[in-house]
């Protein structure tokens, strides 16, 4: 790996895979190979990986759990970095009269953080119950549901830039907006601190269970998908617009607009990325033609055809 003697081989405590199929690492279960897939074991590993990519002019991106990502069938040139092995610390960080700070590294699952807060009787993250993906991914996209967003609970975020420098930024220094935290190109989320209130553990657990029940009732959780495909426009929920356009259940190959929730596209077995993209364009074009509303995708689409 690398040009000449500038290689990562033998310099990492973690692992690097070559030509790794992204279909095995995304919730859609589709996508061609990525040139390199790295699993840094610690901060020094991550710093070496980012510095190597900078020197070799190799594009990199953070994979998370691949739950909000569609990789095209031709795969991706560059480096995918997974923090799922070396960045999973979760703990109470600080206590003050108003509640507690919970520290979570970027590779930990958001579901585990919700569970942790629930166990401790700390309200503030119940809205995130059932949202798939990692802490880093949730912060990156300002994940939200049930009238709550990550920005409502975040206190600060720790970041590493492409040169390996680390800094912590408070909530006021971050550019949160709908489904985005405005992360500068090349920066990597290392961890977040969540400011949660002291509360009634039974009430928190009850609310979490209620939200999980509502998700089970409304969303197609039994088939591979990437969650909501489109952001909700000001005119109303994207799923409602797609359903009113008569597209619920529409199918191209093994990709289908879910019959349970029209803002989900599911993989019924052997869907290809091109099938999913064709359904996305079908919905966008029909709703724009009929309603004059241009839907914007919530999922990230990367790679080559």
Domain boundaries, the chain: 15-81, 90-218, 238-302
| pLDDT on residue 50 | 97
Q: Please check whether residue 279 is in contact with residue 299, taking contact to mean a CB–CB distance below 8 angstroms.
A: no
CATH topology of domain 90-218: 3.30.465
Fold match flag (15-81 vs 238-302): no
Q: State yes or no: is 179 an active-site residue.
A: yes
pLDDT lower than 70: segments of the chain = 1-6, 9, 96-98
Q: Please check whether residue 32 is in contact with residue 22, taking contact to mean a CB–CB distance below 8 angstroms.
A: yes
72, 179, 195, 284: the active-site residue = 179
| pLDDT on residue 199 | 83
| Share above pLDDT 70 across residues of the chain, in percent, rounded to a whole number | 97
Measured in degrees and rounded to the nearest 5, phi and psi for residue 258 equal -55, 140
| pLDDT on residue 98 | 65
23, 82, 228, 258: the active-site residue = 228
Query: Which residues in 50-108 belong to E strands, given as ranges?
Result: 60-62, 69-71, 76-81, 90-96, 99-105
Class of 238-302 in CATH: alpha beta
| pLDDT on residue 251 | 98
Q: State yes or no: is 290 an active-site residue.
A: no
Q: Which CATH architecture has domain 15-81?
A: 2-Layer Sandwich (3.30)
Query: d(Cα 72, Cα 171) in Å, to the nearest integer?
Result: 34
Q: State yes or no: is 228 an active-site residue.
A: yes
Q: What is the pairing mode between strands 99-105 and 188-197?
A: antiparallel
| pLDDT on residue 168 | 97
């Amino acid at each position: 790996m690398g040009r000449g003697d500038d290689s990562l081989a033998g310099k990492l405590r973690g692992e690097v895979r070559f030509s790794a199929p992204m279909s095995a690492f995304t919730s859609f279960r589709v996508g061609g190979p990525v040139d390199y897939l790295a699993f840094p074991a610690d901060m020094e590993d991550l710093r070496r990986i980012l510095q190597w990519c900078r020197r070799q002019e190799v594009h990199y991106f953070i994979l998370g759990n691949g739950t909000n990502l569609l990789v095209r069938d031709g795969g991706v040139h560059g480096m995918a970095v997974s923090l799922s092995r070396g960045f999973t610390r979760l703990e109470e960080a600080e206590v003050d009269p108003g509640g507690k700070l919970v520290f979570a590294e970027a590779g930990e699952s958001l579901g585990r953080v919700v569970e942790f807060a629930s166990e401790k009787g700390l309200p503030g993250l119940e809205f995130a119950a059932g949202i798939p993906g990692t802490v880093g991914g949730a912060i990156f996209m300002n994940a939200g549901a049930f009238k709550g967003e990550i920005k409502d609970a975040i206190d600060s975020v720790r970041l590493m830039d492409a040169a390996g420098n680390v800094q912590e930024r408070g909530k006021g220094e971050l550019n949160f907006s709908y489904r985005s935290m405005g992360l500068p190109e090349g920066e990597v989320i290392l961890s977040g601190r969540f400011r949660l209130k002291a509360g009634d553990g039974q009430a928190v657990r009850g609310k979490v269970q209620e939200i999980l029940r509502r998700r089970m009732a409304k969303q197609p959780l039994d088939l591979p998908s990437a969650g909501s495909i489109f952001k909700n426009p000001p005119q109303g929920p994207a799923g409602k617009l797609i359903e009113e356009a008569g597209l619920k259940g529409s199918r191209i190959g093994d990709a289908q607009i879910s019959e349970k929730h029209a803002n989900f596209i599911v993989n019924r077995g052997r869907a290809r990325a091109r099938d999913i993209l064709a359904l996305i364009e079908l919905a966008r074009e029909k709703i724009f033609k009929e309603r004059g509303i241009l839907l914007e995708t919530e999922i990230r689409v990367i790679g080559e055809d």
